[in-house]
Amino acid sequence: MKSTDGSTQPDHRPANTSIVYHSFALYRQPIFRTLTDDYEQLGSELTLLSAAETNVPSIQLIDPSLADIPVRDGGFRWEFRLLFPLQVEKQKQVRLFSSSEGFVNVCDCLFNTAL
């Protein structure tokens, strides 16, 4: 990236990132809202990747309909690609999806790894 004086400056935007988790609890929504807004302001994307439901009835989830609303209007960039019980084959599909979509950073909270 060139600055106004012609020198080369490093690009300080965060890389496009996905966060992979089995489901996103409602109490975490403010955190993901802040992260999503921060990424958008810096010209990058944060994508959530999870199941649309949970098998734990006591956990309230973030409303999955927010995936249908543009980020600028309060929605989330959110893909529902996980089914439970999670199998190793499904995890491989998640990794392939993440790499095919061009995510530089993938925070895989299912297996506590960064891809």
Going residue by residue through the chain, which has 115 residues, state the pLDDT in tens, using 9 for 90 and above: 444 555 565 556 667 888 888 889 999 999 999 999 998 998 888 999 888 888 888 989 999 999 999 999 999 999 887 655 555 566 666 666 766 766 666 666 655 444 4
CATH 3.40.50 fits 17-114, yes or no: yes
Evaluate the CA torsion angle 105, 108, 109, 113 in order and state its sign. Answer: negative
Tell me the CB-side half-sphere exposure of residue 24, using CA atoms within 13 A.
24
pTM of the model: 0.70
Domain ranges of the chain: 17-114
